[in-house]
Amino acid sequence: MQISKQQAWQVLNQYVTSDVLLRHCLAVEIAMRAYAAKFNQDPEYWSTVGLLHDVDFEKYPEEHPAHARKILMAHGYDDEFITNVESHARDWPKERTILQKTLLAVDELTGFIIACALVRPDKSLENLEVKSVMKKMKDKAFARAVNRETIINSALDMGIDLKEHIGFVTQALSLAVKQPEYQEIPLIG
Ligand SMILES: [Fe+2]
């Protein structure tokens, strides 16, 4: 099938009603798109995997992502696409591809970066510095639901320096928030 963000967005909206989760999916979509371009991969494909990675989370929070396969199959996504989505299960038993490693590495980090921006006086991603995100990583009371180990280990697994990774994802999110297509559900809201 032809992968398109527009179609994926329609599918996602059939299974996710929470703005918080939609915002998270969009943030992961943005980061995946940016990394695909950096790695000379297909941005449309990578970003669509990102957009749909939590498609079953709202309906099946306990079993997620075990229900992604049947949902995505019903909408015509192929085995490879669905496997990419499933691969962000924290206990995924196989070696991840670069797309899959990137998905895991941006999943927790995007939310953490947005949380860091939200506590700034200007609530802006634009002036958010890597060192301030690194400092917040060490502050266990801050955004405590975000697993720091996953952020650190997944960046290691990608073979990217953590600071570089944080800077890259912050910049990708910061550029995207200005685009008209991300105004419907603002990332910083
Ligand atoms: Fe996620």
Q: CA 27, CA 108: separation in Å to the nearest integer?
A: 10
- pLDDT digits 0-9 by tens, 123-162: 999 999 999 999 999 999 999 999 999 999 999 999 999 9
Q: How many Å lie between the centroid of ligand 1 and the Cα of residue 107? A: 5
Phi, then psi, of 186 in degrees rounded to 5:
-60, 140
Tell whether 68 is covered by a domain: yes
Tell whether 132 is covered by a domain: yes
Q: Domain range spanning residue 101?
A: 5-181
- pLDDT digits 0-9 by tens, 1-43: 778 999 999 999 999 999 999 999 999 999 999 999 999 999 9
Q: How large is the average pLDDT for residues 65-86? A: 97
pLDDT score of 81: 98
Q: How many Å lie between the centroid of ligand 1 and the Cα of residue 58? A: 11
Q: How many Å lie between the centroid of ligand 1 and the Cα of residue 79? A: 20
Tell whether 167 is covered by a domain: yes
Task: Collect residues with CB below 5 Å from ion ligand 1.
Answer: 54, 107
> Of 101, 116, 113, 103, whose CA–CA distance to 156 is shortest?
101
What is the domain count for the chain? 1
pLDDT score of 173: 97
Decide: 39 and 98 in contact? Cβ < 8 Å: yes
- pLDDT digits 0-9 by tens, 37-72: 999 999 999 999 999 999 999 999 999 999 999 999
Tell whether 81 is covered by a domain: yes
Q: Name 58's Cβ contacts closer than 8 Å, sequence gap at least 6.
A: 15, 16, 17, 18, 21
Place of tokens 């940016």: 34
The CATH number linked to 81 is 1.10.3210
Tell whether 187 is covered by a domain: no
Tell whether 124 is covered by a domain: yes
Tell whether 96 is covered by a domain: yes
- pLDDT surpassing 90 at residue 184: no
Tell whether 88 is covered by a domain: yes
